[in-house]
């Protein structure tokens, strides 16, 4: 894939980088006490909830808390993403890092479980060669992740997600990539006209990756129908769309298929923000507006935690 812009420095980065803000040792000590009383970070969240976790952050990590809350407008109305540097989330145990990720994400919304079969909220994004899923999702592979929005297969995709970098790829690969959906819509309307936008507002089929289905099987594929473009929201993932369209039971008018092809063509030509997350970095993204992806990587120890929030 060829990108028209490689943005790693400059005014675009300055727009969404909001400085270094560490989660204090006192905060992690409070979280450790909570974990001692429960078995897992997910059980801790289920028992204590958003209010307890965010109250701890407000009292013991006030600078970080104020920074996240005060920059929410950048996610909603400005650049669509923010990055916080050197939070210290990489310097604690995996369980503390997961609970810390859930707590910080709670400042923006209510964290949600990743799959119907698993209560895991801070989902590990790392290469999982042992995975038995018949259709591996991007979080389990080390290959390139094409541009998509998260949870496009749900009736109501979460508005935000956070990526908490614990261990970046030691070779500098696995670069996070973001495209502004507003720019795609603008360019698509300019080059192809309103009729294409209207087609994309009709319902398309999205096939659920097996890891997110109820039984982890492909015997009876699960499909959801939803528009790619709707009120202030974009949803897209090429492989789940193509997987659904390949099913014999699925039929979509040619006008919609042509509009889908036009969308992909404009996406391929879009400006891309390439950002290398470093250990301790946190990236929050507006999932209703921005498409994101990742370059391929080789380091099997690369680890990020992803948290989605309503």
Q: What's the whole-model pTM score?
A: 0.91
Q: Helix (H, G, I), strand (E, B), or coil: what is residue 4?
A: coil
Residue 191 lies in a domain: yes
**Are residues 17 and 158 both part of a single domain?**
yes
Tell me: do 25 and 132 sit in the same domain.
yes
Residue 223: closest CA among 242, 239, 208 = 208
Would the pLDDT of 212 be above 70? no
> What is the domain-level CATH number for residue 169?
3.60.130.10
99 and 218 both lie in a single domain: no
Residue 64 sits in the same domain as residue 36: yes
Q: Quick one: pLDDT at residue 123?
A: 93
State whether 199 and 303 are in the same domain. Answer: no
Quick one: 35 and 136 in the same domain?
Answer: yes
Question: Residues of 48-66 as b/e, b for ≥16 C-beta within 10 angstroms?
Answer: bebeebbebbeebbeebbe
Domain membership of residue 53 (yes or no) is yes
Question: Where do the DSSP E strands lie in 45-192?
Answer: 81-85, 123-125, 145-148, 160-167, 176-180
Residue 306 to residue 98: CA distance in whole angstroms: 9
Residues in Cβ contact with 177 at an 8 Å cutoff, skipping those fewer than 6 apart:
3, 147, 272, 273, 274, 275, 292, 293, 294, 295
Verify that 99 and 200 share a domain, yes or no.
no
Residue 118 lies in a domain: yes
Number of Cβ within 10 Å of residue 259's Cβ equals: 24
Domain containing residue 68: 6-174+277-309
Is residue 244 assigned to a domain? yes
Based on the domain organization, do 15 and 131 belong to the same domain? yes
Residue 272 lies in a domain: no
Tell me the C-alpha distance between 187 and 185, whole Å. 6
Answer whether residue 211 is part of any domain. yes
| 170 assigned to some structural domain | yes
152 and 193 in a single domain? The answer is: no
Q: CA-CA distance, 71 to 289, in Å (whole number)?
A: 16
* pLDDT above 80 for 171: yes
CB atoms within 10 A of CB 253: 10
- Total number of domains in the chain: 2
pLDDT band with cut points at 50, 70 and 90 for residue 151: very high
Q: Give the rounded distance of the alpha carbon of 221 from its chain centre.
A: 24
Instruction: Tell whether 82 and 230 lie within a shared domain.
Output: no
Do residues 211 and 83 both lie within one domain? Answer: no
pLDDT of residue 136: 57
pLDDT tens by residue, 99-139: 999 999 999 999 999 876 678 999 999 876 655 555 556 66
225 and 246 within one domain? yes
């Amino acid at each position: 894939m060829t990108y028209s812009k490689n943005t790693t420095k400059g005014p675009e980065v300055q727009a969404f980088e909001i400085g270094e803000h560490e989660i204090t040792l006192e905060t992690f000590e409070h979280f450790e006490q909570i974990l001692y009383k429960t078995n897992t970070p997910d059980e801790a969240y289920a028992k204590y909830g958003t209010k307890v976790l965010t109250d701890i952050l407000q009292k013991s990590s006030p600078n970080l808390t104020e920074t996240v809350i005060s920059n929410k407008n950048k996610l909603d109305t400005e650049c669509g993403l923010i990055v916080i540097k050197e939070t210290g989330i990489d310097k604690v145990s995996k369980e503390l890092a997961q609970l810390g990720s859930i707590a910080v994400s709670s400042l923006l919304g209510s964290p949600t479980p990743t799959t119907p079969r698993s209560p895991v909220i801070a989902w590990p994004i790392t290469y999982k060669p042992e995975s038995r899923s018949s259709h591996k999702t991007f979080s389990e592979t080390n290959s390139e992740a094409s541009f998509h929005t998260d949870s496009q297969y749900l009736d109501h995709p979460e508005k935000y997600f956070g990526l908490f970098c614990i261990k970046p790829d030691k070779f500098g690969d696995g670069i996070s990539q973001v495209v502004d959906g507003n720019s795609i819509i603008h360019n698509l309307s300019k080059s192809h006209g309103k009729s294409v936008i209207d087609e994309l507002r009709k319902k398309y089929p999205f096939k659920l990756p097996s890891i997110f289905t109820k039984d982890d099987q492909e015997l009876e594929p699960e499909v959801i129908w939803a528009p790619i473009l709707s009120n202030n929201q974009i949803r897209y993932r090429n492989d789940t769309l193509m997987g659904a369209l390949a099913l014999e039971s699925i039929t979509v008018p040619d006008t919609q298929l042509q509009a889908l092809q036009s969308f992909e063509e404009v996406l391929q030509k879009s400006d891309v923000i390439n950002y290398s997350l470093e250990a301790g970095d946190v990236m929050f993204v507006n999932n209703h507006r921005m498409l994101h992806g990742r370059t391929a990587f080789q380091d099997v120890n690369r680890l990020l935690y992803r948290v989605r929030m309503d």
